[in-house]
Amino acid sequence: MGYARARSVVVDGVTGRLVTVEAEISPGLSTVFGSREQCDRVRAAILNSGYAWPDARITLPAEASGSMTDLAVAVALLTAAGHLPAERLDGVVLLGELGLDGRLRPVRGILPAVSAAATNTVIVPAGCADEAAAPGAVVVPAVRLSEVVERLANDSLARHTRPAERAVSLLDLADVPGNHHARFALEVGAAGGHHLFLVGHGPALMLAERLPGILPPLDDAAALEVETVYSVAGQYDGAPGRTPPMSAPHHTTTLAGITGNLHRPGALSLAHRGVLHLHEAPEFNRQILDALPGPMETGEVRLFRRERLVHYPARFQLVLSAVPCPCVRDCTCTAMVRRRYLERLARPLQHVELRARLERGSWAVGPGESSAVVVARVREARERAAVRLAGTPWRVNAEVPVRSLRRYLPAAAEVIALLDSPVNTGLITPVTFPQLVRVSWTLADLRGASHPAKEDAARALELWQGARDASR
């Protein structure tokens, strides 16, 4: 009786994949496509849009299942039934979930789906047209199924323009009283992308919240990566634009909430190209703390369930903060109790380059430097690192792997000797040595030097030992 095909997209992780939805109407009375829920949605949408349901056997491929392909399924069926010329679907990708009344509902992951559609014209629900308007994409918003059919029939597809970027208000580092050592550690961390551990009864949350404000704005590629993650998570309205994002999950968050699941990313990925802050870090579940080192090393979260592997990007800067012991006030804890409390952080702390002990701070001290002053130095330091790392996949010193340190971050013999001495005495572990080399380079970048000197290595050791006595 009729055959037609339409194109749609399915999203795995944060990657879209083009699929072809084929509809064949042949004699019979049964319907075979997708899930039962999708079949019911498409049938009701077609009937409530004023079209007759074909009294025939309908066959669609299994990959057409999923709410994002509802619109493509419905349009393919109507084209096979003769409501549209088949050639009208050439070069068109159809995305969107159908309501029972024929309306198009927004779907999660519309941004990577549009990106996968490449040079095609993409019809999307009007409710997520702003989100779908990726750079270079031809996006056509629609409200109802009948509107899509009418526009395709009349070849009247009006393109949606990308909205202006939203302004994000940032907190100022000048608001943090005192804590000069911790502020400097924050600056070094921002300049080199180093992970940070803040310990003590001080303004850890204030410092962490102001770290995105001293990070350089995201470039086009990084901003698109972040928006894609937030689109798949269904939180596009919370995407920070060009400002590096910050994710601060509560310690009661589940492991799936931190790492994500097969259908949506978690807190680690929501911090991609930005900051992940774990406040009261020892209170987090041990499984969560043990799950941190993998993404910290690889820059991504890998989830494998039921023979399906999903990748989510997770290149974040970790900020751990903790008080020295579980007491709220009037501490009577022994040194052993303090040590055991912070030893819960043993695994993630192996990958932390900077440590700072917090002070309670005094408002009488007066304001410190503003974020605008600090970010200028951070930007200059990152520009020096970018020149040195040009042609590599790394952007900051902290991302350079151990195997490439000698080539891209070489250090003079006197610097190596100074950093090697505490390794030989057992003060630091061999795992810490390359971290200190990276920090030494960042300190040199902040000074405007071409190579780290002994003073940079000594300062790197001082920063790494900054909170070492807090557990005693």
102 and 190 fall within a common domain: no
Instruction: State how far the Cα of 137 lies from the Cα of 130, in Å rounded to an integer.
Output: 11
What is the C-alpha to C-alpha distance for residues 340 and 72, in angstroms, rounded to an integer? 57
Is 58 a member of any domain?
A: yes
**Crossing angle for the helix pair 371-388 and 432-447, to the nearest 10 degrees:** 110
Residue 456 falls inside a structural domain: no
Evaluate whether residue 284 is within a structural domain: yes
| Same-domain check for residues 311 and 381 | yes
pLDDT the model gives residue 390: 94
pLDDT at 464: 87
Q: Is 226 found in the same domain as 147? A: no
Query: Is position 224 within any domain?
Result: yes
* Count of domains for the chain: 2
Question: Do both 311 and 234 map to the same domain?
Answer: yes
Alpha-carbon dihedral angle through residues 134, 247, 212, 461, given to the nearest 10 degrees: -130
Distance, CA of 132 to CA of 111 (rounded, Å): 5
Helices and strands, number each (H, E), in the chain: 19, 16
Query: What phi, psi does 430 have (nearest 5°)?
Result: -60, -25
Calpha distance 468→472 (Å, rounded): 8
Beta strands at 317-322 and 275-278: parallel, antiparallel or unpaired: parallel
Calpha distance 27→420 (Å, rounded):
80
Residue-wise DSSP of 276-330: EEETTGGGS-HHHHHTSHHHHHHSEEEEEETTEEEEEE---EEEEEE-SSS-SSS
Indicate the residue among 351, 375, 393 that finishes a domain.
393
Are residues 217 and 330 both part of a single domain? yes
Residues near 168 by beta carbon (within 8 Å), at least 6 away in sequence: 240, 241, 242, 243
pLDDT at 208: 95
Q: Does residue 384 sit within a domain?
A: yes
179 and 135 fall within a common domain:
no
Asked if the structure places residue 472 within a domain, the reply is no
Contact in structure between 125 and 99 (CB atoms under 8 Å): no
Q: What are the average pLDDT values for consecutive 10-residue runs of the chain, which has 472 residues?
A: 86 90 75 75 94 76 77 92 90 94 94 89 92 86 94 84 75 89 95 94 91 94 94 90 94 96 94 96 93 94 85 96 80 80 86 88 70 96 96 94 93 91 82 93 96 94 71 42
Same domain flag for 67 and 189: no
Domain that holds residue 110: 2-154
Yes or no: say if 262 and 303 are a contact pair by the CB < 8 Å rule. Answer: yes
Task: Give the per-residue pLDDT at 36.
Answer: 79
Nearest to 446 by CA among 402, 397, 411: 397
Contact 284, 278 (CB under 8 A): yes
pLDDT at residue 29, rounded to an integer: 53
Q: How many CB atoms lie within 10 A of CB 302?
A: 14
Q: CATH number for the domain including 87?
A: 3.30.230.10
Residues 373 and 331 in one domain: yes
350 shares its domain with 225: yes
Which two three-digit tokens encode residue 401?
Answer: 């792997």
* Per-residue confidence (pLDDT) for residue 472, from 0 to 100: 42
Q: Are residues 263 and 371 in the same domain?
A: yes
- The 3-state DSSP class for residue 152 equals helix
Q: Report if residue 161 sits inside a domain.
A: no
Residue-level pLDDT at 90: 92
Q: Do 186 and 145 sit in the same domain of this protein? A: no
DSSP per-residue letters across 11-46: EETTEEEEEEEEEEEESSS-EE-S-HHHHHHHHHHH
Quote the CA–CA distance of 183 and 202 in Å, as a whole number. 12
Question: Do 289 and 140 fall within a single domain?
Answer: no
Which CATH number fits the domain that encloses residue 387?
A: 3.40.50.300
* C-alpha–C-alpha distance, residues 15 and 119, integer Å: 16
Question: Is there a domain that residue 465 lies in?
Answer: no
Q: Length of the chain, please?
A: 472
CB 192 within 8 A of CB 442: yes
Domain boundary among 110, 125, 154: 154
The 3-state DSSP class for residue 274 equals coil
